[in-house]
């Protein structure tokens, strides 16, 4: 489902990011932007950073987010393994009355 959504929304992503490249550069406080305070919202807000450069930065952000997510998963998998082992021991626990 996620992949279908991703493929169908690609065109929307393209147009959105292209239109907002300057605004994104301003909101990320990229150095050298001249016209962030003038109220311009399209790519003229930060002509120093090209659309391709803003896209590359966004790609880098997403890659970092993906890597950190997968690193965090290792801890969760560890907790899951320990909890499963604990559950298994709890089920095999027997009490004998003498």
Rounded Cα distance, 80 and 73, in Å: 10
**52 in contact with another protein (CB under 8 A):** yes
**64 in contact with another protein (CB under 8 A):** yes
**Considering only residues 71, 95, 96, 98, which one is a binding residue for another protein as defined by CB under 8 A?**
71
**59 in contact with another protein (CB under 8 A):** yes
Beta strands in the chain (DSSP E): none
Rounded Cα distance, 8 and 38, in Å: 35
**94 in contact with another protein (CB under 8 A):** no
Shortest distance (Å) from residue 13 CB to another protein: 5
CA nearest to 42, candidates 16, 13, 12: 16
* Residue 73 and residue 56 in contact, taking contact as beta carbons nearer than 8 Å: no
Residue 18 burial (CB count, 10 A) = 13
Binding track, positions 17-46, relative to another protein; x by CB under 8 A: xx-x--xx--xx------------------
Which residue ranges make up the site for another protein (CB under 8 A)? 2-3, 6, 9-18, 20, 23-24, 27-28, 51-52, 55-56, 58-73, 75-80, 82-87, 89-91
């Amino acid at each position: 489902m996620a992949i279908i959504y991703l493929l169908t929304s690609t065109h929307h992503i393209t147009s959105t990011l292209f239109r907002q490249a300057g605004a994104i550069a301003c909101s990320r406080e990229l150095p050298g932007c001249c016209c962030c305070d003038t109220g311009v919202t399209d790519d003229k807000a930060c002509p120093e950073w090209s659309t391709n450069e803003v896209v590359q930065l966004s790609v880098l952000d997403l890659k970092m987010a993906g890597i950190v997510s997968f690193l965090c998963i290792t801890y969760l998998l560890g907790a899951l393994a320990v909890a499963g082992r604990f559950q298994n021991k709890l089920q095999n626990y027997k009490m004998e009355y003498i």
